[in-house]
Structure 1
Amino acid sequence: MNNPSASGRPDDLINAFLSKDCTGEEQQRLRDWLSESPGHLQYFEQQRELWFSAVVSDRSLKFDHEKAFDSFRESVMQLPSGSKRSFRLHPVWKVAASVAVLMIASLLFYHMGVRSISRQMADVTIEAPQGSRTRLFLNDGSVVWLNAGSRLTYSQQFGVNDRDIRLEGEGYFEVRKNAELPFRVVTQEMTVTVLGTKFNFCNFPDDDEASVTLLEGKVSYQVASDTREQLLEPDQKVVLNKKSGMAQVSEVRANRSAEWTQGYLCFEDDLLTDIVRRLERSYNVNIIIVDDTLDTYRFYGDFRRTEQSIGDVLEILSSTNKLTYQVQGKHIYLHAR
């Protein structure tokens, strides 16, 4: 394989295809996946639009009229001798030819997935399906990974007037520095503002806690119940208790917070309730905590999602002698031991 990351997962196959680093076998697997469901095709088109928007949009918005006319003239001069006609363009027709080429180029870019800001002002929303993860390339050069079950929304004006993003779920961000346009990630309970940095932000609507972990640079965060901004340093993590509104900062190995982008599941003193939801999103299963006493339990653990099944993870959790599990059809029930 040319691309070792194209392991057969849809996101990896799509990235390899768009990078022009996809083998024939991988292309066939991608075609098979696309044919399984209309939703798969819609998801692929969404990813392709984002890819081309990131790669081509700057070029399409800076159209060179003179160069367009020169290309148009050269194409006329290269017609077969039998059909070639000599003529001199009046300045008015020269402008018209440039406009015609501009219109054709605009249509081509549109069908490639590039929609300029002046033509469409609707928000862009990206979702990572359950059991999957998604990598995005934003117009400002920043890179975002979305974890399973997460959603990201931003304006078509992103990178022009602001760099504001709305997040539901978990995202890992590598932000391109721009002192004039701070990068803001907004959630219901917490907002993070950066200039250029690497950090992980996790805030699913149904989780009990929200957290921000800083890998590089500096970020400021603000909780909804407090107007003050607080700073985070590298290898620090802030955890917000959504019920109490209290935020606590601790020292951590920050690089572990982003290992999910490589297919790992890492739990660092996480509540079982949050772990269960992450397992549901990662393995697309339904888990019910039967005994409320388990809600306050916290666990550590490292798992490789591509190599370890949900059964493997449950076996390891039950080996702590804190809980047992029972599988009934498509449901998994957790009981206190």
Structure 2
Amino acid sequence: MDLNTHIPEEERWPAYLEAWFSGEADAETLAALQAWRKASPANERLFQAYQRALSPHPPVWAQQIDVNRSWEELLPRLTRKEAPAKSSRITWRVPAFAAAAVLALLLVGWWLMAPKVHRVQVADGKETIWLPDSSQVLLNAHSTLTYKEGFGKEHRSVTLEGQGFFQVRPDKRLPFRIESKAAVTQVVGTSFDLQAYPGQGQESLAVVTGTVQYQPLSPEGEPLGAPAIVQAGHSITFKKQAEEITLNALMPHDQLVWSGRLVFEQTRLDQVLRVLRKHYKREIVLQDPKAGQCLLTASFQEEKLTDVLDVIALSLRMTWQASGDSYILSGNGCNEDI
């Protein structure tokens, strides 16, 4: 094969590979191909990908040629100085199989260079995930979280299908984005619960700390009005079909129970006890029903029920005692006049 020296080296590899796979390569071409492969790791990876895509087994004729010996014989001629050759136009012959080979190579290269996607799926139970930027996500059952390579350096975007409790590390340079089927949620640094199961008719967001921006989307993915700003202790509900968004001044306690977190913001004691009964599966009796009007602000995470009752009793000037598998709260609570 005539490989003129005025053709840039990076443009010669198609001819090398064409000769290699067509069986027309002579010793000089094989030596040039060997040199091209050794020139950089990228060239070698390209050759290996090409070979895997088009020729699982090297041809017999290639095994019969001593490439190293041919290269040693050719090297003195390649390094000998000669008069510059006159520029001439070369017509490159590209057989049909070579065009197909190049196309296959491009597909292989695209696959190798495509950004990797990390996916975490939780079938049953729940699972804690630490993201590359040190943010933490607790995924509920039947939930999937995905994010692309470069997370924490080039972007902080994830996709959620299901329910997750997020504790986001602050980073003003890269806001944290959560894309779901019906909305885009964006924060800088905060903790919140987002329920976004694709098959349900609504999404709900409960913010524990910080501030969260929630942008509802139409079925076509277009923004619906201005984004809602949700403060700590508040929640939001988005009904997909009606395209209706509701901002709630109170925390939906049941939404956080699954994560082991109990957050109460100016919540009536009788409502607090209802959540505790469901979460701990224990009977809790309020001796004086009037004390149920007292308001409690407190948060708990994986605490024992007895520790929770200690906090309630101390906050509302009450006492408690165990009675078998049940607990009794005594006292008139927040106001002696109740």
* TM-score, normalised via structure 1 length: 0.42
* TM-score, normalised via structure 2 length: 0.42
Larger Cα-atom Rg: 2
Higher RCO structure (Cα 8 Å, ≥6 apart): 1
